[in-house]
Amino acid sequence: MGDILQYLSTNSADVQFFAQSHFLLVLYSEGIAAVIAVGLALVLHTNQLTPPSWSKRIRAGTQETALLVSSALLTVPSLALFSLLQPPLGLGITPAIVGLTLYGIYPVLRNTVAGLSSVDPAVMEAARGIGMGPVRRMVRIQMPLAWPVVLSGIRVSVLIMISIAAVAAIISDLGFGKPLLDGLSRLGGAGSFAQVVVGTVGPLFIAAVFEIVFVIVKRLTTPRGIRV
């Protein structure tokens, strides 16, 4: 325990950088993944937001294909994916964000599709009956009702990213993966165990911060009538 406290005291600036970079890496990647996933789900789910030539069968098939491809990406080992991204994108933050974004799409896409599908068709028909257009129905009725499920998908996606972001350090030197990998590479040396502990426990604090953020966001953005 003394070695860990000494490491934190001696390298406080580095630990702060690891925490900040880990948090921002996940935040930026999740933002991009959420925009892609929610946008794709909206287009593929809603009749009136797709071209008239898209039949229900084509729309459903495209939706299932998107879910299949995004779920397949989630199963690719992170070490392999980041290694494959390195030749075309080089080293640094770009391949790290691209890789994390690919991992983050599926949970958000799946929950958005599920949330939109769970809205009672009678509610949507009533909104249409009072003159609401498709976009207005989506913004005023469907998305607010589906939002808790969508937010749950974003939350799961973030938790997945927090752990995988540690592996992204092999190509970016960012986040708590940096001290973890350095400590493992010289395990048994002076201060190596402290590095491993910091690199392991650090993401837990990042996850705790995001959990607090999600509690606040859910409280502020969920319609009062459907709060659990």
Q: What is the pLDDT of residues 41-91, one digit of tens each?
A: 888 776 544 555 555 655 566 778 888 899 999 999 999 999 999 999 999
Predicted structure pTM score: 0.87
Q: How many CB atoms lie within 10 A of CB 158?
A: 24
* Residue-averaged pLDDT of the chain: 86
Closest by CA to 82, choosing from 156, 29, 24, is: 29
Spatial neighbors of 108 by CB under 8 A, at least 6 apart, are 33, 34, 37, 38, 150, 153, 154, 157
Domain boundaries, the chain: 2-226
CATH of 2-226, picked from 3.40.50.300, 3.40.50.1370, 3.40.190.10, 1.10.3720.10, is: 1.10.3720.10
For residue 49, what pLDDT is reported? 47
Closest by CA to 45, choosing from 106, 111, 116, 108, is: 116
For residue 48, what pLDDT is reported? 47
* Pure H helices in the chain: 2-10, 12-45, 56-75, 78-89, 93-117, 121-129, 134-137, 143-167, 169-172, 177-185, 192-221
User: What average pLDDT does the segment 31-45 reach?
Assistant: 90
Closest by CA to 160, choosing from 30, 17, 20, is: 30
Look up residue 91 and give its two tokens.
């080293």
